[in-house]
Amino acid sequence: MPHDRHAAYHADRARGEAVRAISATSADAAAIHQELCLRYSGRVIAALILGAVGRGVGSSPAGPD
């Protein structure tokens, strides 16, 4: 992902936090790990979107009417 050189790291962290949230022994710990997972996942999604925009994916070649 060219717009975020740390996207692979964020994806790995998101996965790890998801596993920790699932295996947490308390609701508080699960909530904390879920929040971290969502934050890391958001960074990955942003990198994907910015990469697609940078490549012109999804843009209309005809332009506005």
Segment 51-61 shows an average pLDDT of: 68
| 3-state SS, residue 23 | helix
Task: Please give the pLDDT value at position 3.
Answer: 60
**Tell me: the pLDDT tens digits for 7-30?**
899 999 999 999 999 999 999 999
pLDDT above 70 coverage of the chain, percent: 78
Q: The whole model's pTM is what?
A: 0.75
Q: Identify the burial level of 46 via C-beta atoms within 10 angstroms of its C-beta, where 0-12 means exposed, 13-18 middle and 19 or more buried.
A: middle
Has residue 43 got a pLDDT over 90?
yes
Task: Please give the pLDDT value at position 59.
Answer: 58
E strand spans, 7-58: none
